[in-house]
Amino acid sequence: MEIRLNGKVREVAEGITVRRLLDDLGLHPMRVAVQRNLDIIKRDRYDEVVLQPGDTVEILTVMAGG
């Protein structure tokens, strides 16, 4: 199924959880924040939140800045 991830269309597995998506992307859950359709998903829900087709997902982390 298709979702929008960090501004780009992406093909992901049906029924994928946030946790699984992070694993597939090689991202550590402790170092990111996840927003789905304008809602922040809390870390303790990464295993239960299942992405839907057309979801807009943003994965953020800390980057260099002043």
Partner 1 sequence: MRNQATLKFGGKEFHSRLIVGTGKYPDSPTMQKALEASGAEIVTVAVRRVNLDRTQESLLDYIDLKRYTLLPNTAGCYTADEAIKYARLAREVGMSEMVKLEVIGDQRTLFPDNEELLKATRILVKEGFIVLPYTNDDPIMARKLEDAGAAAVMPLGAPIGSGLGIRNPQNILIILETVRLPVIVDAGVGTASDAAIAMELGCDGVLMNTGIAGAKDPVMMADAMRKAIEAGRQAYLAGRIPKKSYATASTTMEGMIE
Residues counted in the chain? 66
How far apart are CB 62 and partner 1 at their closest, in Å? Answer: 4
Q: Identify residues 6-65 at the interface with partner 1 (CB under 8 A).
A: 6-8, 25-27, 30-35, 40, 42-43, 58-65
**Of the candidates 37, 42, 41, the residue with the CA atom closest to the CA atom of residue 54:** 37
CA dist 52 and 63 (Å) reads 28
How far apart are CB 61 and partner 1 at their closest, in Å? Answer: 5
Give 14 or 64: the residue with its C-beta nearer to partner 1. Answer: 64
- Residue 10 belongs to what H/E stretch? strand 8-11
Binding site for partner 1 (CB under 8 A): 5-8, 25-27, 30-35, 40, 42-43, 58-66
